[in-house]
Amino acid sequence: MADNLKITQSQDESTTEFGREHNEKLQALSRSMVAGLYMLVRSVKMYDPENTVFQKPLHQLQDIINQIIGKEGRLELVGVKDSFYLNSMLVKVDLNSIENQRYLLTEMRAKDVGGFTLTKPVTVPELKNFVWIFSKEQSATTEEDGLAGRKLLNMRVAKFSKLKEKLDKDMNDPGDLKVDRKKYAMTIYARSVFFLGKYLESVRAGKPINASKALRLVQDFVDISYEQRTHFLGMTTMRREDDYLVYHQVNVSLMCIVFGAELGLTKPQLRDLGYIALFHDAGMTTLPEELATKRGALTPEERVAVQRAPLISVRNILMEKGFSRSTLLRVVTTFEHKTDFGTAVRDSRGNIQMIIPKTNLGVYAKIIAICDAYDALTSKRPYRDAYGPEVALMLMWTEMRNKFDPELLEVFMRVMAIQPIKVLSKRQQSLSVSGL
């Protein structure tokens, strides 16, 4: 029987610690543990835990858990929102495993189990007693020390109701939580800038590195900004003029995630959107410096070179191994985001009266187009100073209005806390834009 397992209410469970340093070895073990728990909880809905089908997965899970305890000295797994945290570290699951994680969280919360803690090596009988909690025949309430007749001694299982109460309290009185989130967000931002700098160097060398390594960075942005959307827009003001393209693409990616969340996109969709946005202008890095910073109008040859940049971005995507539906979406969106939404119909004074849509662009492309233009306008360039946020949005709402989906642009202006009707009406004098 169980010698080391025990379920108790968690008085000291940490649900608000963010920003623990990334540890790839621990991440791999964490993902394997979550996957093992998912398989066991799903199987116990169909089979008795005493069935031999459980022997192998139970031993595998035992080995994983004991490796973590041996490495860390303890194991604390907590479900917070749609994610798991292991010893205060966010467990970063693959995109294909997100639904499995949601299923596991749902089943745990249905039994009022929010997580568990272990300080000693676990045994197979202990794990089997834990799995019994989720059996389809089991209707009894899980007590602090487990089920009647299947008591646990050393495994502390946190009640979900208690964790939720504590988390709700923390959200109402954030305190240090905001500081920790902001610090972690800054760390991920810096890592993204560093990675993208290396990626653009490889593009200029003609040998692009694997872009998929950035997926986890994007997922981090999604996770930390999902509940505090506009709080993280402040990071997009961080930029260095000499590294414009690097900061620009990271800023656009983060802005797209915040904007997409406001539009109601799911976390997987936000990850796809942010990932595409992070490399949306990668082809521009192949342009000569004098062309990228040129003042005044471009020659026909120079304009052709600039127009070729999105094709280079597409080529880089196609050079990656494999071709999936996700790859196709990246290719189409990267190309489409440079396409104007529609044709402007102007009155005798040159003001735009209406927009005639040109084609049916994808929503990701329309979101990236708006964020791309806004960040470009509010960035200082060698040939002009940065426009202020209000002026940038005025320009987008007037002279550049045909480039964007007007309904999405209105939402974007609300996200930026500026109402279009207060910026510039259709009848007012239009503004001109240069150097975008």
Four-residue CA torsion sign, 187, 192, 193, 194? positive
Four-residue CA torsion sign, 364, 273, 282, 236? positive
Q: What number of other Cβ atoms are within 10 A of residue 339's Cβ?
A: 15
Contact 170, 227 (CB under 8 A): no
The rounded distance, in Å, linking the Cα atoms of 306 and 302 is 6
> What per-residue confidence (pLDDT) applies to 428?
40
> What per-residue confidence (pLDDT) applies to 345?
79
**DSSP 8-state class, residue 342:** E
> What per-residue confidence (pLDDT) applies to 21?
46
Contact 232, 224 (CB under 8 A): yes
The rounded distance, in Å, linking the Cα atoms of 105 and 81 is 9
pTM: 0.56
Listed in sequence order, the residues at least 6 apart from 387 whose beta carbon sits closer than 8 Å to its beta carbon are 377, 378, 395
Listed as ranges, residues in the chain with pLDDT below 50 are 1-22, 170-171, 174-177, 179, 230, 241, 418-436
* SS3 state of residue 226: coil
CA atoms within 13 A on the CB side of 324: 4
**DSSP 8-state class, residue 141:** P
> What per-residue confidence (pLDDT) applies to 401?
83
* Chain-centre distance for alpha carbon 402: 29
> What per-residue confidence (pLDDT) applies to 242?
54
Give the residue from 116, 78, 109, 89 showing the smallest Cα distance to 24. 89
Listing DSSP states for 144-167 in one string gives: TTEETTEE-SS-EEEEHHHHHHHH
- Residues 71-104 have pLDDT tens digits of 888 899 998 878 888 988 888 887 778 889 999 9
**DSSP 8-state class, residue 325:** H
The rounded distance, in Å, linking the Cα atoms of 101 and 98 is 5
Listing DSSP states for 43-80 in one string gives: HTTTS-TTSGGGHHHHHHHHHHHHHHHHHHS-EEEEEE
Alpha helix locations (H) across 237-362? 244-262, 267-278, 289-292, 300-318, 325-336
Structure tokens at 106: 């749902």
Four-residue CA torsion sign, 227, 233, 234, 235? positive
The rounded distance, in Å, linking the Cα atoms of 240 and 429 is 33
CA angle 424, 428, 432 (to 5 degrees): 80
> What per-residue confidence (pLDDT) applies to 238?
52
Listing DSSP states for 362-418 in one string gives: -HHHHHHHHHHHHHHHTS-BTTBPPPPHHHHHHHHHTTTGGGS-HHHHHHHHHHTT-
> What per-residue confidence (pLDDT) applies to 157?
81
